[in-house]
Amino acid sequence: MTGRTGGANGSRGPVAVPGSEPGAAKILARDFKFWYGSVPALKGISLEVAPGEQLTIMGPTGSGKTTFLRCLNRLNDLVPGTRFEGSLLIDGRDVYRPGTDVDDLRRRVGMVFALPIPLPMSIFDNVAYGPRLHGVRGRRLAELVERSLRAAALWDEVKDRLGDSAFSLSGGQQQRLSIARVLAVEPEIILMDEPCSGLDPISTLRVEETVEQLRGKYTIVFVTHNPQQAARLGGRVAFFYLGELVECAPAAQLFTRPRDRRTEDYISGRFG
Amino acid sequence: MILRSRQRDRLMRGVLTASAVLAVGVLVLIVGYVLWQGLPVLSRAFLLEPPAKMGRAGGIFPTIVGTVLLTAGAVVVAAPLGVATAIYLAEYAHQGRLVSLIRFGTESLAGIPSIIFGVFGFLFFVIYLGMGWSVLSGALTLAGMILPTIIRTAEEAMLAVPRAYREVSYSLGGSRWQTITRVVLPNALPGILTGIMLGVGRSVGETAAVIFTAGASLRVPHSVLDPVRTMSVHFYLLAREGISMRNAYGTAAVLVLSVLAVNFVAYYLMHRHLARLRGAGR
């Protein structure tokens, strides 16, 4: 069974991954709603992501993409006056269940932000920041930092200057450093919130290649406003619009035969 | 008259330059005059000997000890308390009415004349708690006096740390306390230090609050319950009573030099800390 249209068409069941059992989902949202104060940001999202899958969430600014990511690692807890309804499961457990160890949840669900945010410390210390929080020291730490930088395709460029300030890196390198920093806490899920929005096309390509290499090893949710990027990344694409999941389908299908008029308008550039 | 923008630009540049020159000039004039009058008085004996004849002769050793004790005591009490309060206000407290009220309160406290603190310290520490005129009464009064400044500057410094740094720390599984100690405090340290340095400066220069609470004894104190005289108080009494203008300027020179030295050391340490924070660099 292929992806169904959710949202406005009234069909609210989880959008199933081809050939997977619903119980095996890594991420499962069921009619999940979210408000900032009285402003609704998510209006009933039902979505499923299989373990090891890379899902792309595409949509314009204000469509709720980032809000959805920030619910998955509960970073929205930092914003006062929010409210939610429905359920949001990771490995079958609701992330909003009372008594959830939020620090542990965030370690398992890593996040790469829209702009590269190097902490004001050395390249090494940036990658080591997460593991140190969780008590990793000494040789194991050094190995972990190297492995993470290699996985983020940055090792060869920085191996001789790990003690330099992270600010000495270019924008694209800083964003791959952010990816390495996330990998170093050995997460299961990686959320990427428009990680290329501040980068030039060449740096964007390098980050996309890095994501390519991570595919299959981690469950990845990649957010972008850019239809071309969503098409390049492949996999399944979920189109968010004004807090609704309009349509979710494999990229090839969504871009050639969109089911919803709004999806068609968006990918053909007819939106303002 | 309508000036063309280039003329207006030149005029404003002149006015602003004049303001800067005037401001720096006044400072240089005051410090220069004090040093010109006071430096010839300075000698090993002046620094290390006790005063004689109420300060007309001899040195100022006990007042140096008194200044160091009172200032150190005030900072040791006020800095941890002030920084802890600032952490609470910036990182823990629900940003609502109560916090605004506390902020308004500390801001008002920072503007209260020091003599009010002196009278309060006299009534509360000296009389009510029976500490008498002493190092302890003086230090606690000064601590109360500099606390609001330390709280305000430390809080501002913490709020100025980008929210994104906190989010990175939280998103990697950092707890609130880990985020505060590893990201917020190291980045806020220069601001916090500035507040503490302002407190040191105010403590060293304070006279009114100190006369009321620490007394004006010319002996070297043997316990925190003994009275002391600070350099500022000594200067005030020497000049006010017309005892010795010469020794008054000598004391003032020591005062100015020590404040400058403390500031230099603090800014050097801060610079080194900043360099380390930003990575070794090349």
How large is the average pLDDT for residues B30-55?
90
Is there a contact between A103 and B174 if contact means CB atoms under 8 Å apart? yes
| Minimal CA separation from A10 to chain B, in Å | 34
Percent of chain A with pLDDT over 70: 91
Predicted local confidence at residue A51, as pLDDT:
93
Where are the domains positioned within chain B? 45-281
**pLDDT grade for A4, boundaries at 50, 70 and 90:** very low
Alpha-carbon Rg for chain B, nearest whole angstrom, is 23
Chain A residue numbers with beta carbons less than 8 Å from the beta carbon of B176 are none
Give yes or no for residue B279 having a pLDDT over 90. no
List the single best residue of B99, B161, B168, B175 to mutate versus A (max A Cβ within 10 A): B168
- Which residue among B172, B277, B282 places its CB closest to the CB of A106? B172
% helix / strand / coil in chain A, to the nearest 5? 40, 25, 35
Nearest one of A238, A268, A190, A260 to A63, comparing CA atoms: A238
Contact of B220 with B57, CB cutoff 8 Å: no
Predicted local confidence at residue A11, as pLDDT:
39
pLDDT in tens, B92-142: 887 788 888 888 888 888 889 999 999 999 999 999 999 999 999 999 999
Give yes or no for residue B281 having a pLDDT over 50. no
pLDDT in tens, B222-271: 888 999 999 999 999 998 888 888 999 999 999 999 988 888 888 888 88
pLDDT in tens, A147-179: 999 998 899 999 999 999 899 999 889 999 999
Enumerate the β-bridge partners of residue A201. Answer: none
Q: Tell me the fold of B45-281.
A: MetI-like fold (1.10.3720)
Q: Whole-number mean pLDDT of chain A?
A: 87
Q: Is A252 in the B-facing interface, judged by CB distances under 8 Å?
A: no
| Minimal CA separation from B173 to chain A, in Å | 4
Predicted local confidence at residue A17, as pLDDT:
47
Percent of chain A with pLDDT over 90: 68
Is there a contact between B164 and A113 if contact means CB atoms under 8 Å apart? yes
Is there a contact between B167 and A73 if contact means CB atoms under 8 Å apart? no
Predicted local confidence at residue A223, as pLDDT:
95
Question: Which tokens hold the place of A217?
Answer: 């090893």
Taking only residues 85 to 124 of chain B, the set having a beta carbon closer than 8 angstroms to any beta carbon of chain A reads 94-95
CA distances from residue A71 to A55, A66, A77, A209, B21 in whole angstroms, order as listed: 16, 9, 8, 27, 55
Predicted local confidence at residue A16, as pLDDT:
47
Is there a contact between A103 and B167 if contact means CB atoms under 8 Å apart? no
Predicted local confidence at residue B277, as pLDDT:
67
Residue of B nearest to A186 (CA): B172
How large is the average pLDDT for residues A22-45?
89
**pLDDT grade for A10, boundaries at 50, 70 and 90:** very low
Nearest one of A11, A143, A34 to A95, comparing CA atoms: A34
Taking only residues 25 to 84 of chain A, the set having a beta carbon closer than 8 angstroms to any beta carbon of chain B reads 73, 75, 78, 80
Predicted local confidence at residue B95, as pLDDT:
77
Contact of B78 with B143, CB cutoff 8 Å: yes
ipTM confidence score: 0.86
Q: Is B187 in the A-facing interface, judged by CB distances under 8 Å?
A: yes
Q: Is A165 in the B-facing interface, judged by CB distances under 8 Å?
A: yes
Which DSSP category does A122 fall into?
B
Q: Is B282 in the A-facing interface, judged by CB distances under 8 Å?
A: yes
**pLDDT grade for B210, boundaries at 50, 70 and 90:** very high
Contact of A211 with A220, CB cutoff 8 Å: yes
Residue of B nearest to A185 (CA): B172
Is there a contact between B164 and A121 if contact means CB atoms under 8 Å apart? no
pLDDT in tens, A35-73: 999 999 999 999 999 999 999 999 998 899 999 999 999
Enumerate the β-bridge partners of residue A111. Answer: A191
Residue of A nearest to B168 (CA): A117
Chain A residue numbers with beta carbons less than 8 Å from the beta carbon of B273 are none
Give yes or no for residue B167 having a pLDDT over 70. yes
Chain B residue numbers with beta carbons less than 8 Å from the beta carbon of A164 are 279-282
**pLDDT grade for B38, boundaries at 50, 70 and 90:** very high
Predicted local confidence at residue B1, as pLDDT:
55
Give yes or no for residue B26 having a pLDDT over 70. yes
Residue of A nearest to B178 (CA): A133
Predicted local confidence at residue B2, as pLDDT:
63
- Which residue among A75, A181, A185 places its CB closest to the CB of B167? A75
> 3-state secondary structure string, A191-236?
EEECCCCCCCHHHHHHHHHHHHHHECCEEEEEEECCHHHHHHHCCE
Predicted local confidence at residue B232, as pLDDT:
93
Q: What is the Cα–Cα distance from B214 to B136, expressed in whole angstroms?
A: 8
Chain B residue numbers with beta carbons less than 8 Å from the beta carbon of A133 are 169, 172-175, 178, 182
Give yes or no for residue A7 having a pLDDT over 50. no
- Which residue among A75, A115, A166 places its CB closest to the CB of B279? A166
Q: Which residue has the higher pLDDT, B179 or B217?
A: B179
| Minimal CA separation from B17 to chain A, in Å | 35
Beta carbons within 10 angstroms of residue B207's beta carbon: 20
Enumerate the β-bridge partners of residue A215. Answer: A218
Is there a contact between B168 and A113 if contact means CB atoms under 8 Å apart? yes
Starting at the edge strand found earlier in the chain, the sheet holding A82-90 runs A39-49, A27-36, A82-90, A93-94
Predicted local confidence at residue A12, as pLDDT:
40
**pLDDT grade for A8, boundaries at 50, 70 and 90:** very low
CA torsion sign for B202, B204, B208, B211 is: positive
Q: Is A209 in the B-facing interface, judged by CB distances under 8 Å?
A: no
Contact of A201 with A143, CB cutoff 8 Å: no
| Minimal CA separation from B278 to chain A, in Å | 5
Give yes or no for residue B17 having a pLDDT over 80. yes
Predicted local confidence at residue A23, as pLDDT:
56
% helix / strand / coil in chain B, to the nearest 5? 80, 0, 20
CA distances from residue B91 to B52, B104, B158, B172, B195 in whole angstroms, order as listed: 53, 18, 8, 18, 18
Name residue A70's amino acid. R
Give yes or no for residue A197 having a pLDDT over 90. no
Give yes or no for residue A28 having a pLDDT over 80. yes
B/e letters for A180-191, b = 16+ CB within 10 Å, e = fewer, are bbbbbbbbbbbb
Q: Whole-number mean pLDDT of chain B?
A: 90
Q: Which helix (H) or strand (E) holds A89?
A: strand A82-90
Percent of chain B with pLDDT over 90: 61
Chain A residue numbers with beta carbons less than 8 Å from the beta carbon of B280 are 122, 163-165
Is there a contact between A113 and B174 if contact means CB atoms under 8 Å apart? no
Is there a contact between A133 and B172 if contact means CB atoms under 8 Å apart? yes
Q: Which residue has the higher pLDDT, B177 or B274?
A: B177
Residue of B nearest to A113 (CA): B168
List the single best residue of B92, B172, B177 to mutate versus A (max A Cβ within 10 A): B172
Q: Is B59 helix (H, G, I), strand (E, B) or coil?
A: coil
Q: Is A103 in the B-facing interface, judged by CB distances under 8 Å?
A: yes
Give yes or no for residue A146 having a pLDDT over 90. yes
Nearest one of B175, B205, B18, B171 to A76, comparing CA atoms: B171
Is there a contact between B167 and A110 if contact means CB atoms under 8 Å apart? no
